[in-house]
């Protein structure tokens, strides 16, 4: 099947979309570098047992886990997989 020839406007739009994708990737990488550069520490302090989007909190991510050496209100860095790190604030579970 032969490729369709794009006009000037279509080529411009594709180039714009590709540039936006590159910018988003650069921002993600910069955000990840700032997370790693913080003084939150690299040692493992606990384990995540479960997590997911909260329907009652506007689909914001929530999770549960066992951690030690932190108190309520502390900020920790969670690594759900080797390529992603997320900031989290420690709160007490409402039902415990």
Predicted confidence at residue 44, as pLDDT, reads 77
Question: 48-69, pLDDT tens digit by residue?
Answer: 888 888 888 888 888 888 888 8
Assess if residue 94 is contained within a domain.
no
Q: How confident is the model at residue 72 (pLDDT cuts 50, 70, 90)?
A: confident
Instruction: Enter the pTM of the model.
Output: 0.46
Per the structure, the complete domain to which residue 19 belongs is given by 1-37
Assess if residue 95 is contained within a domain.
no
Residue 23 sits in the same domain as residue 5: yes
Residue 63 sits in the same domain as residue 85: yes
The number of domains in the chain is 2
Question: 1-37, pLDDT tens digit by residue?
Answer: 667 888 999 989 999 999 999 998 887 776 655 545 4
Burial 18-54 (b: 16+ CB within 10 A, else e): eeeeeeeeeeeeeeeeeeeeeeeeeeeeeeeeeeeee
Residue 63 sits in the same domain as residue 30: no
């Amino acid at each position: 099947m032969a490729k369709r020839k794009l006009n000037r406007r279509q080529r411009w739009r594709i180039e714009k979309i590709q540039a936006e994708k590159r910018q988003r990737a650069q921002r993600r990488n910069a955000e990840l570098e700032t997370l790693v550069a913080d003084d939150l520490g690299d040692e493992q302090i606990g384990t995540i047992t479960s997590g997911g989007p909260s329907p009652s909190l506007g689909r914001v991510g929530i999770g549960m886990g066992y951690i030690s050496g932190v108190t309520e209100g502390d900020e920790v860095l969670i690594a759900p997989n080797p390529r992603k790190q997320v900031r989290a604030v420690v709160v007490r579970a409402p039902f415990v």
